[in-house]
Amino acid sequence: MVQVAVLGYGTVGSGVVEVIGKNNGIVSRNAGQELNVKYILDLRDFPEDPYGDRVIHDFDTILNDSEVSIVCEVMGGVGAAYQFTKAALEKGKSVCTSNKELVAKHGPELLQIAKANHCSYLFEASVGGGIPIIRPLNDCLTAEKIENITGILNGTTNYILTKMEREGADFDTVLKEAQEKGYAERNPEADVEGHDACRKIAILSSLMTGKNVDSEKIYTEGITKITADDFLYAKAAGRTIKLLAKSDAVGEDEVLTMVAPFMVDKEHPLAMVNDVFNAVFVRGNMLGDSMYYGRGAGKLPTASAVVGDVVECARNLGRHIPCRWEAQDAKLADVADIEDAYYVRVKAEKKSEAQAAFAGGRLLEIPDRDKDFAVLTTPMKEKEFAAKCQTLGDAVLSRIRLY
């Protein structure tokens, strides 16, 4: 029997216990031996819970129990979660996690500790919730030079943008409604400012390059400036607006990674990813395009990915499952130097100046609307675009990159 400890009995933690319990026959058969949750670590007690008798408050009980070979860290944060993960790995216990913040911040170090102690650090659930994307990148696409990864990696913002598109509503109204329904956090900053997607693309980019992509160095824009007017123009252009997290291989050894809203062509498969769903689009130099789609958050989808990792660890007890993610920093290309085409919405009184500045672009006008217009520009360097916008001053109402 393989004994498992779960750190944190919140949404994902209770999901992990539920998946191991309800699907015990399947997970045990897949693991090759029975899986059992021996401990659940939490600050609280759960006297009414069917697993309440397994709840403990002292991590050392888990650490010092040689029967426990796999630990699920689903508590979140980078404080105690980091200490517990490190200590478990140093004891040769494999750790499976959904904690993207910790993986993004300390991934290479924790992988190194796992390797040195003949155990594993697996983090399938940290990106895209229940969608298999880490293992495909790490194990299946190993014959590929990955040229591009583009993801819709945050369910909250995708839900908000989908609602804005469908209802013509503005950002604040939809966010408030999403908070009331419990779809968005009370403090939505990490989601709406793009930080959550940034950590996830940092993890994917690190796997793509094999080197460390520091999430703090990634150019990140959120969705708070997107308006109902922008969606009107997106519709007129046959596009929609999505928060994309993307990473492009540039030259031999550079990577351009960014998180920002993009106006996506309606024909692109990512334009069809709606509501809380996530998707990751991967282009390899041999395979071409592939896409991974599904539930990027939620109790059971995320827990399923954690338990999938538990099964993988159980199949490899005493052995390190390798992951190519070195501590050395990847070279990040400067966003200012890349070429993008833009949607730019401008006050009507500056029409001739804007048309001159963005000559060759496609003019977009909405019938019976005389306060503004938009241009879909030709591709140009980010810094060139910024300079052109500067000449138009506050007549520029919004700008979104095209995809």
| Least separation in angstroms between CB 150 and ligand HSE | 16
Is position 155 an interface residue for ligand HSE (rule: CB under 6 A)?
yes
Residue 262 neighbours by CB distance under 10 Å: 23
Kindly report the backbone phi and psi dihedral angles of residue 4, in degrees, each rounded to the nearest multiple of 5, phi listed first.
-120, 145
Looking at the Cβ atoms of 122 and 344, the one nearer to ligand HSE is 122
Helix axes 100-116, 195-209, angle to 10 degrees: 30
| Least separation in angstroms between CB 121 and ligand HSE | 18
| Least separation in angstroms between CB 287 and ligand HSE | 26
Q: Which of 94, 156, 162, 304 binds ligand HSE (CB under 6 A)?
A: 156
What amino acid occupies position 20?
I
User: What mask, x for binding ligand HSE by CB under 6 A, covers residues 92 to 131?
Assistant: -------------------------------------x--
| Least separation in angstroms between CB 380 and ligand HSE | 32
| Least separation in angstroms between CB 154 and ligand HSE | 4
Nearest to 398 by CA among 244, 249, 232, 239: 232
Is position 297 an interface residue for ligand HSE (rule: CB under 6 A)?
yes
Is position 194 an interface residue for ligand HSE (rule: CB under 6 A)?
no
| Least separation in angstroms between CB 156 and ligand HSE | 3
Token pair recorded at residue 222: 């959120």
**CA 194 to each of CA 164, 247, 258, 389: distance values in angstroms, whole numbers, following the listed order:** 17, 15, 10, 23
Q: What distance, in Å, lies between the first and last C-alpha atoms of the chain?
A: 50
Which region, judged by CB under 6 A, interacts with ligand HSE, from 106-114, 152-160, 231-239, 338-346? 152-160
Q: Which of 18, 196, 312, 340 binds ligand HSE (CB under 6 A)?
A: 196
- Assess whether 235 carries a catalytic annotation: no
Looking at the Cβ atoms of 6 and 203, the one nearer to ligand HSE is 203
Q: Which of 296, 301, 308, 361 binds ligand HSE (CB under 6 A)?
A: 296
Is position 154 an interface residue for ligand HSE (rule: CB under 6 A)?
yes
Pairing verdict, β 396-402 and 342-347 = antiparallel
Residue/partner pairs of 180-189 with CB below 8 Å, 24 or more apart: 183/156, 183/159, 183/276, 184/156, 184/159, 184/160, 185/156, 188/156
Number of residues that bind ligand HSE (CB under 6 A): 8
Kindly report the backbone phi and psi dihedral angles of residue 157, in degrees, each rounded to the nearest multiple of 5, phi listed first.
-70, -35
Token pair recorded at residue 119: 């155990």
Kindly report the backbone phi and psi dihedral angles of residue 329, in degrees, each rounded to the nearest multiple of 5, phi listed first.
-70, 140
Which region, judged by CB under 6 A, interacts with ligand HSE, from 43-51, 149-157, 165-173, 258-266? 149-157
Q: How far, in Å, CA of 272 to CA of 268, rounded? A: 7
Catalytic one of 100, 105, 163, 200: 200
**CA 72 to each of CA 52, 130, 210, 300: distance values in angstroms, whole numbers, following the listed order:** 17, 15, 24, 14
Token pair recorded at residue 256: 């351009």
Catalytic residues: 200
* Contacting positions for ligand HSE (CB under 6 A): 129, 154-156, 191, 196, 296-297
